[in-house]
Every structure is written in C-alpha cells, then in structure tokens.
C-alpha cells in the first residue's frame, strides 16, 4: 500500500478477537509507529487479498487508486475471464474480517458468491455502519435459507431481512456458525 502524507492516519486490522492499529509516521524508518506510545517503530501491516481492514484518515481527503492485476488463485477456465479466488472462513475464530478478492460490489450471495442454500445457515454478517468516517456499530444479518430472501435478523430470527450488499473494496465481519471451516470461492 502506498499512501503519502498520512502522518497520524491509522490502519486497523482484525485478529479474530480485537483490532490492532498501526499509525502512519514518516519520521520512523518503517513509516509506522505504535499508537499507544508514539515512539516504538512498528513493522508495516501486511494486508492480504481478501482481508478486511479500516483506514482512519487523519488528513485531507484523497483518492487512493489501486492498479494492477486482479489477484486470483487459479487461472481462468471455461466462462471465467479473470479466474478463481478462495478465502477461508474459519469456524475456529469468532469473527474474521474479510472482503471480496475480486473488484465487484453486490449482494453477499447473488454477486459475491457466498452460498445461500443452507450451507451457511446461522452464520453472521456484520457490516460496519460508517457515518462521517466513524463506525457507529454494525448491521447484523444472519444466513437463514428458510426465509424468502435467505436472511434474517439476529435478535429473534423471525424477521426476513434483505440480502446484505457490500461495496467494491468493502469489508465485513463474518462469523462462521457451521462448526466446520468453509472455503469461499469466487469466480469472474
């Protein structure tokens, strides 16, 4: 990731139980410092394809343009023009913060390819409710193949909810409640 003039801005990554943060600091050899002390030099965060993260911008608005080749795990075959990607949704970790590896936006099932055939029933999608650049809680939706949309509310499980929509580059917390790891496969 290449971002200039962002001293004080923060990258937050999720460990499965909490967020860790690294602060941009151009005075440090690595370009990052510990937010708690402001003195300890930190290794730059590694952001892998399909991993969600927050960027807390403390400076002027800017557009960060990503260029290059779309990350794929397997080359295109048949009707795929780009290729196939996979992302492990662990059942061992309470929540994973993920995003689509492909540059597409849309419903978690209809476009992003998470199955809604009962395979993930009970699993939870948490989408950050961001207002004015600040997270104000999460919109929580549960996979439920018995509902007409395939999704229900977490509180009672009685209300049918619309399919969660994820923007391009948007991340979401996912809790795999199936008891076994699930590999999210996407193709384009």
Residue 81 pLDDT greater than 70, yes or no = no
Q: Which residues pair with 55 in a beta bridge?
A: 11
* Dihedral, 163, 166, 172, 177 alpha carbons, nearest 10: 30
Sign, CA torsion 67/69/73/76: positive
Q: How many CA atoms lie within 13 A of 118 on its CB side?
A: 1
Average pLDDT, the chain: 87
Ordered by start, the domain boundaries in the chain are 10-56, 74-187
For residue 158, give both structure tokens.
Answer: 């009685």
Do 73 and 82 form a contact (C-beta atoms < 8 A)? no
Structure confidence by residue, pLDDT tens digits, 28-74: 999 899 888 888 888 888 888 888 888 888 877 777 777 777 767 77
pLDDT above 90: percentage of residues in the chain: 44
Who has greater pLDDT, 153 or 82? 153
Average confidence (pLDDT) over 145-172: 93
State residue 76's pLDDT score. Answer: 67
Structure confidence by residue, pLDDT tens digits, 8-38: 888 888 888 888 899 989 889 998 998 888 8
Cβ neighbourhood burial of 25 (10 Å; 0-12, 13-18, 19+) = buried
State residue 5's pLDDT score. Answer: 67
Q: Which residues pair with 96 in a beta bridge?
A: 174
Residue with tokens 């207002």, as numbered in its chain: 131
Residue 1 pLDDT greater than 50, yes or no = no
DSSP, collapsed to helix, strand or coil, labels residue 141 as strand
Structure confidence by residue, pLDDT tens digits, 94-130: 999 999 988 889 999 999 999 999 999 999 999 999 8
Helix count and strand count (H, E) for the chain: 0, 14
Q: In Å, how far are 85, 87, 101, 106, 173 from 6, measured between CA atoms?
A: 31, 30, 25, 30, 26
Phi, psi at 136, each rounded to 5°: -115, 65
């Amino acid at each position: 990731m290449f971002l200039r003039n962002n001293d004080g801005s923060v990258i937050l990554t999720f460990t499965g139980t909490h967020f860790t943060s690294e602060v941009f600091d151009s005075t440090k050899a690595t370009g990052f410092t510990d937010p708690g002390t402001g003195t300890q030099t930190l290794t730059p965060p590694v952001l892998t394809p399909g991993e969600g993260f927050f960027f807390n911008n403390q400076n002027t608005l800017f557009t960060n343009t990503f260029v290059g080749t779309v990350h794929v795990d397997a080359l295109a075959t048949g009707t795929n023009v780009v290729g196939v990607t996979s992302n492990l949704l662990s059942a061992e970790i309470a929540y994973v913060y993920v995003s689509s590896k492909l540059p597409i936006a849309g419903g978690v099932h209809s476009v992003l390819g998470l199955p809604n055939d009962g395979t993930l029933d009970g699993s939870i999608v948490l989408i950050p409710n961001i207002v004015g650049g600040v997270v104000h809680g999460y919109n929580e939706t549960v996979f439920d193949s018995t509902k007409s949309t395939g999704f229900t509310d977490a509180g009672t499980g009685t209300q049918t909810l619309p399919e969660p929509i994820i923007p391009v580059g948007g991340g979401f917390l996912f809790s795999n409640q199936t008891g076994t790891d699930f590999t999210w496969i996407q193709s384009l």
